[in-house]
């Protein structure tokens, strides 16, 4: 056997092991980023005790990662569970996840472009889901929702069971209301945001609340508000610089 053939055979034998190691590394990185997203959003006041964030599985698009049912500021890598797109646990004995996990699974089902989802109860954002004044972008970091924000109304399912998205049917209806947009308001409840990366998701979550605060302050003064306008495709930040800062502030990098 020549040296070249021996080398080829060794590489062929090693390939499955190397591939598995690469997949494990990608999963570990996704879990670390998901823990960071939980901690950052909690520190920024977006997920103070309640709400949840998820990321699509890095090597299996038919699964996603989310924490067990725990306050976001307490999430560690050991708390992350794997669910399928029906929001059922992949492994037996998986700890209980959030009641509203269907928000995540149903959005991932119909939006292959989405790799991260958050449901939160940003207070000023919620105020735009209870009245008639639409939430509109007023500064450049909010350009991602220039096309407007739809509102999903839980009352379409009646009021007997409250406003939670705690069934697959409600999750599917929410995903349908979201369509191809990044944000959907939830009447009398909160908001769901969908993005292509976790840093983008975190940045949009913070920017959305900031925009709501700025718009509310201007409206409270009785101002005629000048809303953001772009004639072409809106520019936007990937929030990677801020993502690194937020992680450093929490001692996570």
Please tell me whether residue 162 adopts helix, strand or coil conformation.
coil
The count of residues in the chain is: 253
Q: Encoding tokens for residue 102?
A: 């269907």
Residue 106 annotated among the catalytic residues of the structure: no
Measured distance CA(199)–CA(239) in Å, rounded: 6
Contact yes or no for 78/144 (Cβ under 8 A): no
Measured distance CA(9)–CA(118) in Å, rounded: 46
Measured distance CA(193)–CA(181) in Å, rounded: 9
Lookup result for tokens 């997203």: 37
Contacts 24+ apart (CB under 8 A), 214-218: 214/138, 214/139, 215/135, 215/136, 215/138, 216/124, 216/127, 218/138
Q: How do strand 116-120 and strand 190-195 relate by DSSP bridges?
A: antiparallel
Q: Which of 20, 100, 213, 232 is catalytic?
A: 100
CB atoms within 10 A of CB 134: 12
Query: Helix (H) and strand (E) counts for the chain?
Result: 6, 7
Quote the radius of gyration of the chain (alpha carbons, Å).
Answer: 21
Measured distance CA(90)–CA(148) in Å, rounded: 36
**What amino acid positions are annotated as catalytic residues?**
100
């Amino acid at each position: 056997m020549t040296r070249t053939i021996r080398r080829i055979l060794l590489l062929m034998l090693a390939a499955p092991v190397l591939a598995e190691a690469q997949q494990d590394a990608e999963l570990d990185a996704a879990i670390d980023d998901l823990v960071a997203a939980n901690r950052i959003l909690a520190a920024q006041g977006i997920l103070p005790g309640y709400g949840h964030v998820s990321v699509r599985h890095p090597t299996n698009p038919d699964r996603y990662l989310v924490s067990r049912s725990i306050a976001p500021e307490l999430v560690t890598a050991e708390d992350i569970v794997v669910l399928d797109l029906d929001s059922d646990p992949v492994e037996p004995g998986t700890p209980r996840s959030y009641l509203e996990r269907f928000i995540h699974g149903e959005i991932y089902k119909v939006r292959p472009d989405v790799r991260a989802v958050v449901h939160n109860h940003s207070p000023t954002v919620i105020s735009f889901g209870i009245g008639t004044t639409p939430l509109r972008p007023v500064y450049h970091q909010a350009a991602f929702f220039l096309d407007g924000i739809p509102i999903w109304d839980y009352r379409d399912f009646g009021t007997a069971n409250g406003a939670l998205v705690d069934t697959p049917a409600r999750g599917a209806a929410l995903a349908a209301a979201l369509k191809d947009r990044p944000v959907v308001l939830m009447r009398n409840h909160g908001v769901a945001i969908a993005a292509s990366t976790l840093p983008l998701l975190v940045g949009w979550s913070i920017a959305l609340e900031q925009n709501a605060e700025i718009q509310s302050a201007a409206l409270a003064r009785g101002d005629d508000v000048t809303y953001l306008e772009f004639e072409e495709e809106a520019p936007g930040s990937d929030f990677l610089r801020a993502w690194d800062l937020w992680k450093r502030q929490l001692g996570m990098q």
